[in-house]
């Protein structure tokens, strides 16, 4: 064993994943990474030390046995690797593409102490794509229990609850407000990062297991949570926090100012990226400013580049080191020509006599001591204002809860910001039989964290259904 470890620790460099060239990919919405070949996947998996403590598993919010499936890849047992992954995650083609693995499963990897950590995310994508080509691996299902669960929202947390509970023999119905299932996976994440066909295939896998999905169902209007409780034995709310946040600065009501929600929804769900096949009304602009530094801001900026604008500037009030977006997305954006305006923040948006955006005023920032986020606090520099000419501004600084469900559900407590109050261990709300997770509960700021909430909620719902006691 010692010799085996010694030999493997000599391989410190990760097997690179092929990517399309920047000048080519910025012209369309096709996926950027090309994924591993079988030989590349086996070579990368062979870098794993197969250590007993499996710190990678502890780093995964849904508890995938990362070391176990990587070991199976190294031996060529790809179907076995798929089966092991899907014991904890029925959406691996999605998570393998959009998870921040460097902060989770790959972060504690022992190989990373000496060199590059094992590419667990790339390998998860590989096994998921292998399954799509070679035949679906469906998990076993328990016999029907006669009980059912209603799930509000078909985003990451809701899909995870559905996947876990359908395998336990419960009836599962998802109620989705939009005309397509997938939530943020469909309307928020661009095609070049997560192709719509892959999301559809993963969701169809849940349908084949027996999950029913009802579209165009606006809970709070079409049905209330109380009416759902009359139809189901428990309810999970996973609607996200879809109401945009603005900065409350002058000019935000000018023509040409978008929330990232609207901009990405028009491009993704309404297929503006497929113009002229889909003639979605959308002002593209020639000089665009995107405000923010997270994945949503990066998705908006890279989408704007592909829609044909001349120049896109990403304005972020901290430095690149504090930027919450995935490192890979930052690198891709730099390669594609995104202009970074770091340590700057908008003070006003300026328009012309017709009410259209013409420019934005920025103030320079300097970093002080860390704030509640753990990042250094940005401090305005007096007298440093400057004007940047733009015709479009996209606000990507966060979201907040839509009150439609909470306003129509007596007994469902919210905090002062409007998020549903839940027990952090069980995701149980203050209303018996009702659970919530992801952004609507103030957690789940990424796809995989929302899925982690779903896993906790599914476990608690199972206990509730079996015991009959609210948690």
Q: Which 8-state DSSP code applies to residue 323?
A: -
Query: pLDDT value at position 444?
Result: 60
| DSSP structure string for 406-448 | HHT-TT--B-TTSPBP--TTT-B-SSTTEEE-GGGGT---SHH
2 — pLDDT class (breaks 50, 70, 90): very low
pLDDT tens-digit map of 28-76: 999 999 999 999 999 999 999 988 888 999 889 899 999 999 999 999 9
- Burial grade of 27 (CB within 10 A; 0-12, 13-18, 19 or more): exposed
pLDDT tens-digit map of 447-471: 888 999 999 999 999 999 998 654 4
Domain map of the chain by residue range?
Answer: 2-134, 148-242+401-467, 244-399
Q: Which CATH number fits domain 244-399: 3.40.50.2300, 3.20.20.80, 3.60.15.10, 3.50.50.60?
A: 3.50.50.60
pLDDT tens-digit map of 354-404: 999 999 999 999 999 988 878 899 999 999 999 999 999 999 998 899 999
Torsion angle, CA of 408/413/419/425, rounded to 10 degrees? -130
Torsion angle, CA of 402/408/413/417, rounded to 10 degrees? 20
pLDDT tens-digit map of 409-428: 999 999 999 999 999 999 99
How many of the other CB atoms lie within 10 Å of CB of 71? 19
Residue 129 CB contacts under 8 Å (≥ 6 apart), including other chains: 35, 93
Between CA 181 and CA 310 the distance in angstroms is 33
Mean pLDDT of 248-277: 89
Between CA 355 and CA 113 the distance in angstroms is 55
10 — pLDDT class (breaks 50, 70, 90): low
Between CA 423 and CA 435 the distance in angstroms is 9
Between CA 289 and CA 304 the distance in angstroms is 10
6 — pLDDT class (breaks 50, 70, 90): very low
How many of the other CB atoms lie within 10 Å of CB of 186? 22
Report the CATH fold assignment for 148-242+401-467. Answer: FAD/NAD(P)-binding domain (3.50.50)
Equal CATH topology for 148-242+401-467 and 244-399: yes
pTM listed for this prediction = 0.91
Task: Report the CATH superfamily, name and number, of domain 2-134.
Answer: Alpha-helical ferredoxin (1.10.1060.10)
Classify each residue of 133-150 as buried b or exposed e, where b means 16 or more C-beta atoms within 10 Å of its C-beta: eeeebeeeeeeeeebbbb
């Amino acid at each position: 064993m010692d010799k085996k470890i010694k030999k493997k620790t000599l391989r410190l460099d990760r097997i690179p994943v092929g990517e399309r060239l920047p000048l080519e990919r910025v012209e369309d919405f096709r996926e950027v990474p090309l994924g591993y070949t079988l030989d590349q996947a086996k070579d990368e998996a062979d870098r794993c030390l197969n250590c007993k403590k499996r710190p990678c598993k502890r780093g995964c919010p849904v508890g995938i046995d990362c070391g176990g499936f990587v070991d199976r890849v190294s031996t060529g047992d790809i179907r076995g690797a798929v089966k092991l992954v899907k014991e904890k995650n029925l959406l691996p083609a999605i998570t393998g593409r959009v998870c921040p693995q460097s902060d989770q499963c790959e972060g504690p990897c022992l190989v990373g102490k000496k060199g590059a950590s094992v590419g667990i995310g790339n390998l998860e994508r590989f096994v998921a794509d292998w399954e799509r080509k070679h035949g679906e691996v469906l998990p076993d299902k328990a016999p029907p229990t006669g009980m059912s669960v209603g799930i509000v929202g078909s985003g990451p947390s809701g899909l995870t609850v559905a996947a876990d509970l359908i395998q336990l023999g419960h009836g599962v119905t998802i109620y989705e407000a939009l005309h397509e299932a997938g939530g943020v996976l469909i309307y928020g994440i661009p095609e070049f990062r997560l192709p719509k066909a892959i999301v559809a295939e993963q969701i169809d896998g849940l349908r084949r297991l027996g999950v029913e999905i009802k579209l165009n169902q606006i809970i709070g209007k079409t049905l209330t949570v109380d009416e759902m409780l009359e139809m189901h034995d428990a309810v999970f709310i996973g609607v996200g926090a879809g109401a945009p946040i603005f900065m409350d600065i002058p000019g935000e009501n000018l023509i040409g100012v978008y929330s990232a929600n609207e901009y990405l929804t028009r491009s993704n769900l309404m297929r503006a990226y497929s113009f002229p096949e889909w003639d979605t009304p959308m002002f593209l602009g020639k000089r665009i400013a995107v405000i923010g530094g997270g994945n949503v801001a990066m998705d908006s900026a890279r989408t704007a580049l592909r829609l044909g604008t001349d120049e896109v500037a990403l304005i972020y009030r901290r430095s690149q080191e504090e930027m919450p977006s995935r490192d890979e997305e930052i690198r891709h954006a730099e390669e594609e020509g995104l202009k970074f305006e770091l340590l700057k923040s908008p003070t006003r948006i300026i328009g012309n006599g017709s009410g259209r955006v013409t420019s934005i005023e920025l103030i320079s920032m300097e970093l002080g001591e860390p704030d509640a986020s753990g990042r250094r606090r940005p401090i305005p520099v007096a007298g440093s204002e400057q004007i940047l000419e733009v015709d479009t501004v996209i606000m990507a600084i966060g979201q907040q809860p839509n009150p439609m469900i909470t306003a129509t559900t007596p007994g469902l407590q919210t905090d002062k910001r409007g998020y549903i109050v839940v027990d952090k261990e069980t995701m149980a709300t203050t209303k018996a039989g009702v659970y919530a997770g992801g952004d609507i509960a103030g957690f789940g700021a990424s796809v995989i964290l929302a899925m982690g909430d779903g896993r906790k909620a599914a476990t608690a719902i199972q206990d509730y259904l079996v015991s009959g006691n609210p948690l």
